[in-house]
Homo-oligomer: A and B are copies of this chain.
Amino acid sequence: MTFEDILPASPSCADCPIRHRAVCSRCDERELGQLEEIKYYRSFEAGQMVIWSGDKMDFVASVVSGIATLTQTLEDGRTQMVGLLLPSDFVGRPGREFAPYNISATTDLLMCCFRKKPFEEMMFSTPHIAQRLLEMTLDELDSAREWMLLLGRKTAREKIASLLAIVAQRDAAVKLRTQRGRMIFDLPLTREAMADYLGLTLETVSRQISALKREGIIELEGKRHVTVPDFDRLLNEAGDDADGGLPT
């Protein structure tokens, strides 16, 4: 499976794997050629570490398929997820040598990587790429801050509803349909990973999901397959009208 299977090609930029959130909506032939030269693929198994916080990170990358998470931990093991990488998301920090978080694959993961040095050189010589990167970073910052509001002020139920709403919307976006009625998708995270994302325990996550199910706000088939019969009703439980916004 390649990114082609997951994301429809942009006609002007068919072979650029990071065209969706990154540099390529305005790439010309020369730039595409340059990107082609410095790109390579890496795949990871579910549970595998992509990079440890503090390690040297000599690439930037785009998620082709699978899910990765960015996490931070305290010394005693308490962990907080600070970002979730879904297909088409970009990760990497031009101008930074070391990774600031743990990045790990929660499912099998395929990433399209670019060597950092040449990527940076390209960025410095190509204004629209630097602009695009700044724009992306500002998007991430907005998402991180929206998540701060969730972590600091929302109840457990609101947190769960917000997460479900965001995953549902991301899923709908990937499938190229935006709807506000019935939505069906698979949760890409374990209860524990959700807990780490929301600043809760896994038991609380489980209980709140059960409660939403009991009340008919969601339907569950197995542990992961979710049907949302009425998206607006779910959104209503999320504590705001926020149209999504998730860290990275």
Contact = CB atoms under 8 A, between A and B. Distances in A.
Interface in A38-89: 70, 72, 74-76, 78-80, 82-83
Interface stretch (A148-156, A167-175, A207-215): A148-156
Contacts of A141: 137, 140-141, 144
Contacts of A239: 74-76
A193 B229 CA distance: 40
A247 interface: yes
Contact of A134 (B75, B134, B146): B134
A241 B54 CA distance: 14
Contact of A146 (B72, B151, B198): B72
Given A78-B153, A138-B96, A101 B131 contact: no
Interface in A201-248: 239-241, 247
Contacts of A127: 124, 127, 130
A138 B138 contact: no
Interface residues of A, number: 44
A100 interface: yes
Given A96-B138, A130-B131, A138-B93, A145 B74 contact: no
A247 B131 contact: no
B134 A124 contact: no
A102 to B, nearest CB: 12
A94 interface: yes
B152 A80 contact: yes
A218 B67 CA distance: 44
A77 B138 CA distance: 26
Given A79-B153, A140-B141, A148-B148, 11 more contacts: A75-B240, A75-B241, A78-B154, A80-B149, A83-B145, A124-B131, A127-B127, A130-B134, A144-B145, A148-B151, A153-B199
